[in-house]
Amino acid sequence: MEFRGDATQRIAMISAHLQPSFTSSQMEEKNTVMGRENCRGKGGKAGFKVAVLGAAGGIGQTLSLLMKMNPLVSLLHLYDVVNAPGVTADVSHMDTGAVVKGFLGVKQLEDALKGMDLVIIPAGVPRKPGMTRDDLFKINAGIVKTLCEGVAECCPNAIVNLISNPVNSTVAIAAEVFKKAGTYDPKKLLGVTTLDVARANTFVAEVLGLDPREVDVPVVGGHAGVTILPLLSQAYAAAKFADACLRGLRGDANVIECSFVASQVVTELPFFATKVRLGRTGAEEVYQLGPLNEYERVGLEKAKEELAGSIQKGVDFIRK
Ligand SMILES: NC(=O)c1ccc[n+]([C@@H]2O[C@H](COP(=O)([O-])OP(=O)(O)OC[C@H]3O[C@@H](n4cnc5c(N)ncnc54)[C@H](O)[C@@H]3O)[C@@H](O)[C@H]2O)c1
Ligand SMILES: O=C(O)C[C@H](O)C(=O)O
């Protein structure tokens, strides 16, 4: 946006731009004025179009802020069923290049998704003390289904980062929705397990007295209880997930992260978290587990048993 005219006019324009919150119709108008199809950020920099679904939540807000700060993002769509206008206003004030637009409620889901390169989904309820991630299935399964139906319709080629728990089941739900719609590309559906890697790095670094940024423990299996299997016997160097997907989309070489993906090559299970190479088309290579020690081999068997049930639960939710 250009600020022309005298000082008073400029101040009036800036003040209008800095309203603390918008009604959904005001926000709609603001988005239209800024040009919905524009994939260049402020200052005309080209970049990727990213949507965060569930942007007003605990994970969503922080994630949105980090995406706004990411130089690979030119357009950032923030969607939620509540509070999207206020969060959008706040995030948009960050003095970085990405243009931020807000979308409130299911009527605006289509506009939130149209033309996106990367869709990140932290929408849904989090667990309370005493709950397992699987206890969230009842509510989050339906939320993920609706949002993925939107993705299939509006941006079938987008890479999807699925954060909503239980990841071990919601990834299978998303896959079934995309299969039904005829848009499923296993390379583009990635369950986010990066937190497990970050935790493993932090704990290992603590024990060994190292800088956590110099440690990277691959964590395989899934994202719940015994399915989280850190391979402490293998260590390599670190990076972060949505940013890694964007660097892959840009065509950077050797972008390798752990993620919960479709992967018949690693175990007999249809989905499994392991190291993947991210590229222009998503998870372009799924790596084998590598040598495991005895402790890890026992853990793997336990992980596979629980994972099989969680994956099937997600599949049945759509098929039955
Ligand atoms: N994979 C991971 O590593 C990881 C890490 C942390 C949290 N999580 C999961 O992420 C999810 C969100 O956690 P949180 O702490 O941000 O919860 P939160 O309650 O703070 O936020 C969830 C947001 O989702 C929104 N939402 C609910 N239904 C929606 C719908 N139909 N469409 C769009 N948005 C909707 C809510 O309005 C809310 O703003 C939980 O399921 C949590 O378990 C996963
Ligand atoms: O533990 C949770 O419920 C949220 C997330 O999956 C986590 O690992 O912190």
Question: What is the residue whose two structure tokens read 């599949």?
Answer: 315
Give the mean model confidence (pLDDT) for residues 135-157.
Answer: 98
Ligand 2 atom index nearest CA of 223: 6
- pLDDT 10s digits, 46-79: 899 999 999 999 999 999 999 999 999 999 999 9
How far is Cα of residue 149 from the mean position of the Cα atoms in its chain? Answer: 16
pLDDT, residue 33, reads 37
Q: Residue 132 CA: which ligand is closest? A: 2
pLDDT, residue 239, reads 32
Instruction: Enter the tokens of residue 297.
Output: 């081999």
Give the mean model confidence (pLDDT) for residues 94-101.
Answer: 96
Q: Residue 225 CA: which ligand is closest? A: 2
Ligand 1, CB within 6 Å, residue ranges: 53-54, 56-60, 80-82, 122-127, 136, 140, 143, 146-147, 163-165, 167, 192, 195, 223
- pLDDT 10s digits, 175-211: 999 999 999 999 999 999 999 999 999 999 998 888 9
Residue 126, Cβ neighbours under 10 Å: how many? 14
Q: Atom 42 (ligand 1): residue with closest C-alpha? A: 126
Name residues whose C-beta falls within 8 Å of residue 212's C-beta, 6 or more positions apart in sequence: 198, 201, 202, 204, 205, 206
Confidence bin at 240 (pLDDT 50/70/90): low
Residue 138, Cβ neighbours under 10 Å: how many? 10
Q: Which of the residue ranges 26-35, 61-70, 141-150, 311-320 would you say has the lowest mean pLDDT?
A: 26-35
Ligand 2, CB within 6 Å, residue ranges: 126-127, 133, 165, 195
The CA–CA distances, whole Å, from 142 to 18, 153, 164, 179, 305 equal: 35, 17, 11, 17, 25
